[in-house]
Amino acid sequence: MTRYSYLSHLECARCGHVHDATVAQGLCRRCASPLLARYDLDALKREVPRSSLRDRSWELWRYHELLPSSAASNEVKLGEVVTPLLKMARHGADLGLQELWIKDESATPTSTFKARGAAVGVSRAAELGWTQIAMPTNGNAGAAWAAYAARAGLRALIAMPEDAPRITRAECLTAGAEVHLVDGVISDAGAMIADAVSRGDWVDVATLKEPYRIEGKKTMGLEIVEQLGWTLPDVVVYPTGGGVGLIGIHKAIEELLALGWVEGQMPRFVAVQSSGCAPIVSAFEQGRPDSTFWEDSRTVAFGINVPKALGDFIMLDILYKTGGIAVDVNDDALLEELRILGRHEGLFVCPEGAAAVAATRRLAERGWISPTDRVVVLNTGAGIKYPECVDADLPVLAPGTSIPDSAVHASPTP
């Protein structure tokens, strides 16, 4: 008899202590580190062939054996489509790469990949009986968790920096969340939430403080491998804040390798940060196992403005053991990449995604990525959530004015 989910237990990412997965859990009770969901992969391998996925609908929950929900009826859904994995021939040629792919997360509910973590995290929270969830956010996670909380009938309390993208504030309010703004960064919002949680009835679902957000983000990795015809890329490039996506994609590939659903070598992982907030890059360059708090962080790529990540040691371990690297790019470079990519491919990527593509360009120039490497870059969200990233001021012509002669004759493609 096959099971809907093969979730077996939770394991501390630092000390390995095992926790019961059938009840709600936060951080490790021994060492306060993040917990990782573990599955009975031996049984899954015996009981479910990869081919059983063939007839399932093309959505996130097609991988339910490797997700924590115990029944389909407990899944909270807003339309989690499998997002496109697009080959970028023109932009790849510009970077000198023959196989440059982009996993475009703009088609997710709430228009960023944060929807994946929220879909699975909220589904599991509701299933285990949580009714009130609280979190700090740079905007996108709050928007996603507020939406899924509303859909599941849960209450949401959210704190975010005052200068987080305004649209995300509107999204949280539209979903009926209780929203508070802070004149500071996400760590300040996190302190406010932790305090509120200690004084009241809320459960803290901040990044990695509960185990199932990673599982949602893991589906990016499952999808990439399936979309590549059950083969692995050579390099995965990821814009890194809290690191959940990077940890999740790596975990997905580890599980697929253990199941024998894919064979080959684990890809090299690249953590991309903004020069205005690069604690992981700094730790990596010093060969350290964890990061130190980044003071006065600032970047247009708001989703990766995380001065100190709870899962820094997990990310750094992945970079070291896969032969990966951490690199930073400044805001001018990522905004320039955003514009070039738009012209080459018709994609309006988010600044975080643009940072990942700009880092790929630098690594290709340095020879760290070779021309024949198969590279998958994550565009973690829709650029249209960040309209201020493109200068759209133009002169306005009076009705009856002619379009200038210079523009009347089409020029060859840029």
Ligand X SMILES: *Cc1c(COP(=O)(O)O)cnc(C)c1O
Pattern of binders to ligand X over 81-120, x per CB under 6 A?
A: -------------------------------x-x------
Q: Is 93 in the site for Zn ion (CB under 5 A)?
A: no
Q: Please, which of residues 161-220 interact with ligand X by CB under 6 A?
A: 207
On the 0-12 / 13-18 / 19+ scale of CB atoms within 10 A, 190 is buried
Residue 124's CB: how many other CB atoms inside 10 A?
Answer: 28
Task: Considering only the stretches 27-35, 127-135, 234-242, 273-281, report the one whose residues sit in contact with ligand X under the rule CB under 6 A.
Answer: 234-242
* CA–CA distance, 63 with 234 (Å, rounded to integer): 23
Q: How far is the CB of 14 from Zn ion (least distance, A)?
A: 5
* CA–CA distance, 100 with 104 (Å, rounded to integer): 13
Q: Is 311 in the site for ligand X (CB under 6 A)?
A: no
Q: Residue 241 or residue 279: which is nearer to ligand X going by CB?
A: 241
Match 């979730």 to its residue by tokens. 7
Q: Is 17 in the site for Zn ion (CB under 5 A)?
A: yes
8 A C-beta contact, residue 152 and residue 101: no
Q: Is 241 in the site for ligand X (CB under 6 A)?
A: yes
How many chain residues are in contact with ligand X, going by CB under 6 A? 18
Q: Is 30 in the site for Zn ion (CB under 5 A)?
A: yes
Q: How far is the CB of 300 from ligand X (least distance, A)?
A: 11
Residue 208: strand pairing partners: none
Q: How far is the CB of 140 from ligand X (least distance, A)?
A: 3
Strand order in the sheet with 374-379: 85-87, 99-104, 374-379, 235-239, 268-274, 325-329
Indicate which of ligand X, Zn ion, none lies near residue 12 (CB less than 5 to 8 Å, by partner kind).
Answer: Zn ion
Q: Residue 31 or residue 258: which is nearer to Zn ion going by CB?
A: 31
Strand order in the sheet with 155-161: 178-182, 155-161, 132-136, 203-204
Indicate which of ligand X, Zn ion, none lies near residue 240 (CB less than 5 to 8 Å, by partner kind).
Answer: ligand X
Q: How far is the CB of 355 from ligand X (least distance, A)?
A: 9
Indicate which of Zn ion, ligand X, none lies near residue 161 (CB less than 5 to 8 Å, by partner kind).
Answer: none
Pattern of binders to ligand X over 324-363, x per CB under 6 A?
A: --------------------------x-x-----------
Element (H, E) at 199: helix 186-199
Q: Which of 92, 221, 242, 279 binds ligand X (CB under 6 A)?
A: 242
8 A C-beta contact, residue 138 and residue 186: yes
Task: Considering only the stretches 27-35, 218-226, 243-251, 401-409, report the one whose residues sit in contact with ligand X under the rule CB under 6 A.
Answer: 243-251
Q: Is 18 in the site for Zn ion (CB under 5 A)?
A: no
Element (H, E) at 48: none
Q: Residue 301 or residue 369: which is nearer to ligand X going by CB?
A: 301
* CA–CA distance, 137 with 154 (Å, rounded to integer): 18
Q: Which of 239, 267, 279, 383 binds ligand X (CB under 6 A)?
A: 239
Ranked by CB distance to ligand X, the top (closest) residue is: 303
* CA–CA distance, 113 with 123 (Å, rounded to integer): 16
Strand-pair category, 203-204 with 132-136:
parallel
Residue 158: strand pairing partners: 135, 179
Q: Which of 286, 273, 267, 270 is nearest to 363 (CA)?
A: 270
Q: Residue 259 or residue 353: which is nearer to ligand X going by CB?
A: 353
Q: Which of 297, 275, 208 is nearest to 246 (CA)?
A: 208
Residue 375: strand pairing partners: 100, 235
Q: Is 38 in the site for Zn ion (CB under 5 A)?
A: no
Task: Considering only the stretches 25-33, 241-249, 359-367, 394-402, report the one whose residues sit in contact with ligand X under the rule CB under 6 A.
Answer: 241-249
Q: How far is the CB of 363 from ligand X (least distance, A)?
A: 18
8 A C-beta contact, residue 235 and residue 267: yes
* CA–CA distance, 193 with 159 (Å, rounded to integer): 7
Q: How far is the CB of 33 from Zn ion (least distance, A)?
A: 5
Length of the chain: 414
Q: How far is the CB of 245 from ligand X (least distance, A)?
A: 4
Residues at the interface with ligand X (CB under 6 A): 112, 114, 140-141, 207, 239-245, 303-304, 350, 352, 380-381
Residues at the interface with Zn ion (CB under 5 A): 12, 14-15, 17, 28, 30-31, 33
